[in-house]
Amino acid sequence: MSDIVAALREALGDRVLTDADTLDAHRRDYWALAEIRDLLGRGAPRPRAVVRAISTEDVAQTLRICRAERTSVIPFGGASGVCGAIEANPNSIVLSTRGLNGLVRLNDQNLTATFRAGTLGIEAENRVRQGGLTIGHWPQSVEVSTVGGWVATRAAGQYSTAYGSIEDILLALEVVLPDGSVLRTRETPRAAAGPDLRQIFMGSEGTLGVITEVTFSLRPLPEASRGQAFHFASFEAGIEAVRRLMRVGWRPPVIRMYDANESQRSFRDWCPEGRNLMLLLHEGPASAVNAQIDAVAALTVTGGGEQTDATCVDNWLEHRNKVPSFREMNERGLVVDTIEVACTWDLVPRLYDEVTRSLREVPGIIVASAHSSHSYRSGTNLYFTFAARVEERERMPEVYRECWERTMRACVAVGAGIAHHHGIGRVRRSRLVDEVGDTGVALLRKLKRALDPDGLLNPGALLPPPGAEER
Amino acid sequence: MSDIVAALREALGDRVLTDADTLDAHRRDYWALAEIRDLLGRGAPRPRAVVRAISTEDVAQTLRICRAERTSVIPFGGASGVCGAIEANPNSIVLSTRGLNGLVRLNDQNLTATFRAGTLGIEAENRVRQGGLTIGHWPQSVEVSTVGGWVATRAAGQYSTAYGSIEDILLALEVVLPDGSVLRTRETPRAAAGPDLRQIFMGSEGTLGVITEVTFSLRPLPEASRGQAFHFASFEAGIEAVRRLMRVGWRPPVIRMYDANESQRSFRDWCPEGRNLMLLLHEGPASAVNAQIDAVAALTVTGGGEQTDATCVDNWLEHRNKVPSFREMNERGLVVDTIEVACTWDLVPRLYDEVTRSLREVPGIIVASAHSSHSYRSGTNLYFTFAARVEERERMPEVYRECWERTMRACVAVGAGIAHHHGIGRVRRSRLVDEVGDTGVALLRKLKRALDPDGLLNPGALLPPPGAEER
């Protein structure tokens, strides 16, 4: 067992770490259930060693050495994922990308910026803002997630309704395949040259390759930026107003529709009790923003919206990345998580009703709420939040599982997609078959075997263990 | 050899055709070189038989039977591809999707429409227009290409600058895999649930599966639609103006920038000799269109553009799908083709110069021109047209190959992408390695082997024969 560490040390020297603090810090991601297990003293084990790669060649060497030794490798970025895609085992090597840091090149004429994969999101965004540009991708995790992680998890940011999700922003990538070979896709605005190879790795959650470099297609910072807000008698009426805006083609980067619970929890100064808040942020050339603001106001008021003070948008912008940690909540006796799913417009009211109703049947439940935050021509996401009071800590994992199971069951019953932007990890892997079908799971397994025949790259994430997908 | 036909007949009855006319009509697609070869009496051979599938199960049965008999299958839609992706051989079965025809369902609330794959583009578009909607995808081939073919070839239409290419319009698909299993992707606006499986088949050119159904994300027909046009002293100045419009975020569905040659060829009534025409079509809510028209006029005039009468846009709309056939041109002693490539903004002037210069060295060349017709934040496409006068018909294939080879060499030298929206087929397959690298070709081969281990689905298209990609 020490052979693998010795072999890695020979190639990578002091970039192979085995001290207790480093191993502890690389056991898992930010999955709520992993937090509970830690609290209960049954947390994920330490890995065998951590490799802190500082070059693409370091990554390739690590993969080659681990393949020769038949040792599993867990790619590790900011570890801000919330679905359990990272969970060490005592024999695995964790491969941290955080030493792959910083800007590689920026081209203002092409609006492109290439970063090494371990760069923190906020650092990448701040770097391009020096030149008056933006990546246009702002997940709540922006201060702790890496740009490579955005791609590996198929992330969506808060401005996605106008600027798209990571698949619309990623122009090119460099990825090390399980056999140590390096794929670099071309920086071309568009190609019809076979299947889009970037897509194999977007959402692969570290199971098909290790992303080492990403190139984003940037935008200039907008000339104008204006908030706008309304409230509605029902969540359904608000969602219908969002649909009508999307249909005509208006595209505010931010359009968030909160149910009455969340409106009261976060915006009581702007929204009367029982009403449902819609919050918008418009960006772009001033004349386009003005035309959009007027059109949205007209359409929304027709749909039953009542305008409220847009300072709630500033309030949201200020507080949007501040949420209490799972640990704080757990220590107060609360089991808490968020579950983001998506569906076409026709299914939204039923999905909202089914999930919140089913969650409210869980003993001790005190929160079962939702908002929509990413909209499309065909539908929107719903971002559910649940919280349950659990007296005995030992029962927390069980209650957590029950809330998830109820939400997933309701999604499948309604016909909704099971994951909008957090990914699959471990929490949803047994439900992947409901999303992509038996043929889809079989196809993903073929892809996995073709690229990683020994199954060494992040085993246990995304794909359920063989056989487990049978219903 | 008659076993396969008998086996197919037993399962599919009179949907298996072997009459000479049907076999003749299913030998090849609309590749210019295939047209020349036909003229020379050395055209593609007839296939063994044509299966005209009328259901997904027909497609699955055909694939299963051919797999059992180790017989190759060539999926065949509108055969309007121009890169040679379809070329029968005497032992192969051609599988036509044209019997898979018509609308399956349309949902006005979700703005979605599902068509069977063999539906002609124009029929699908006309069907959704009955409800005031549009697919927003209008390739020049719209009257002869199928909606499944759009997906299989990774097509882009004339409105792509605002509405995106097929990957932005396709919401879901049904595809039969080489083993006869059927994959149906979910109609969800967005998912983070592993790699996007649709992407494996978009651009696969019939080599990885047979698409049987497609669901599009529609738009309402626009409230307003207005043309606009300018001309510039140089092609480079016009391209720079396009870049500046894209940069700020203006998105006319159509923005076409022609070089001086093409401006004279097609728009001499609107554009003085030596000047370079920019033609725009704006669509959307009236207030948005008006804001955009004004902003574009201001930005473009600052960039050296001179406004001209917008009736040239009507002229283009009227004539855009009328082009002389390759056969007519060949019979007049001309070798003609178009080659669409793409690159980032910084490379456009050099790419334009290198390709047109290199083409002009070909003896007999009479046209070497280009326009840009699909633009992005990071760059644009260039759509080259060449025509050469060739006295001896026997020399036509050689001249054709030389023009292509010169264009591809110039692309690679400059660092441009080799294919924007026509695909790879046979004409570009030896250059695929220049687009995706050795690792990319190896990855595509692994994908092919994983899905189609016997290599029976459309062999010879997209991927070069094994070993041929070495430089």
For A359, list phi and psi in degrees, rounded to 5.
-65, -35
pLDDT category, B345, cuts 50, 70, 90? very high
SS3 of A181, please? coil
Cβ of A432 within 8 Å of Cβ of B194? The answer is yes
Q: Chains A and B: how many Cβ contacts under 8 Å?
A: 305
pLDDT of residue A468: 55
Closest chain A residue to B182 measured between Cα atoms? A439
Residue B466 has a pLDDT of 72
Cα–Cα distance, A85 to A76 (Å, whole number): 10
Give B141-156 pLDDT, tens digit per residue: 999 999 999 999 999 9
Q: Which two tokens stand for residue B424?
A: 């790879």
B396-403 contacts, C-beta under 8 A, 24 or more apart: B396/B36, B396/B39, B396/B40, B396/B330, B396/B335, B397/B33, B397/B36, B397/B37, B397/B40, B399/B335, B399/B362, B399/B364, B400/B32, B400/B33, B400/B36, B400/B335, B400/B337, B401/B33, B402/B362, B403/B335, B403/B337, B403/B359, B403/B362, B403/B365
Mean pLDDT on A333-356: 98
Distance from CA of A436 to the nearest CA of B (A): 6
Per-residue confidence (pLDDT) for residue B471, from 0 to 100: 36
- More confident position, A338 or A469: A338
Asked if B194 and A217 come within 8 Å (Cβ–Cβ), the reply is: no
User: Residue A321 — pLDDT band, cuts 50, 70, 90?
Assistant: confident
Select the more confidently predicted residue: A466 or B44: B44
B331, exposed or middle or buried, with CB in 10 Å at 0-12, 13-18, 19+? Answer: exposed
Flag whether residue B219 sits within 8 Å of chain A, measured between CB atoms: yes
Is pLDDT of A295 > 90? yes
pLDDT of residue A469: 45
The answer to whether B280 and B293 have CB atoms below 8 angstroms apart is no
Least confident interval from A304-308, A326-330, B451-455, B464-468: B464-468
Can you give the pLDDT at residue B469? 45
Distance CA A102, CA A115 (A): 6
Q: What is the mean pLDDT of chain B?
A: 97
Mean pLDDT rounded to a whole number for chain A: 97
- What percent of chain A has pLDDT above 70? 99
The number of helix segments (H) and strand segments (E) in chain A equals 17, 18
Contact A196 B189 (CB under 8 A): no
Of the candidates B290, B288, B272, B279, the residue with the CA atom closest to the CA atom of residue B241: B279
Please report the pLDDT score of residue B420 as a whole number. Answer: 98
Length reported for chain A: 471
Q: Do A439 and B181 touch (CB under 8 A)?
A: yes
Determine the 3-state secondary structure of B254 from DSSP. Answer: strand
> For A51-80, how does the pLDDT look when each residue is reduced to its tens digit (9 = 90+)?
999 999 999 999 999 999 999 999 999 999
User: B428 contacts in A (CB within 8 Å)?
Assistant: 193
In a 3-state reduction of DSSP, which class is residue A466? coil
Q: Which has the closest alpha carbon to A312: A284, A288, A281, A283?
A: A281
* B107 in reach of chain A (CB within 8 A): yes
Residue type for position A43: G
pLDDT at A471: 36
DSSP H/E element including B335: strand B334-344
| Six token digits for residue B187 | 């109609």
Contacts with A250 from chain B: Cβ below 8 Å: 285, 288
What DSSP string describes B66-107? HHHTT--EEEESS---SS---B--TTPEEEE-TTS-SEEEEE
CA B470, CA B464: separation in Å to the nearest integer? 10
* A217–B contact, CB cutoff 8 A: yes
Q: How far is A308 from chain B (nearest CA, A)?
A: 24
The answer on pLDDT for A461 being more than 90 is yes
**Tokens at residue B62, please?**
């055909």
- For residue A466, the model assigns a pLDDT of 72
| B249 neighbourhood in chain A, CB within 8 Å | 219-220, 222, 284-285, 288
Please give the pLDDT value at position B323: 84
- In the prediction, which pLDDT does A467 show? 60
pLDDT in tens, B216-249: 999 999 999 999 999 999 999 999 999 999 999 9
* CB contact (8 A) between residue A247 and residue B295: no
Confidence of residue A322 (pLDDT cuts 50, 70, 90): confident
pLDDT in tens, B72-96: 999 999 999 999 999 999 999 999 9
Tell me which chain A residues have a C-beta less than 8 angstroms from the C-beta of B185.
436, 440
8 Å CB contact of B436 and A194 = yes
Hey, of A141, A202, A378, which one would you mutate to test binding to chain B, going by the most B CBs within 10 A of its CB?
A: A378
Report helix, strand or coil for B452.
Answer: coil
**Of the candidates B171, B202, B294, which has its C-beta nearest A195's C-beta?**
B202
Interface of A with B in 263-302 (CB under 8 A): 284-285, 287-288, 290-292, 294-295
Q: Is residue B470 predicted with pLDDT exceeding 80?
A: no
Contacting residues of A for B248, CB less than 8 Å apart: 220, 223, 285
Judged by a CB distance cut-off of 8 A, whether residue B112 touches chain A is yes
Mean pLDDT to the nearest integer, B158-172: 98
Longest dimension (CA), chain B: 70
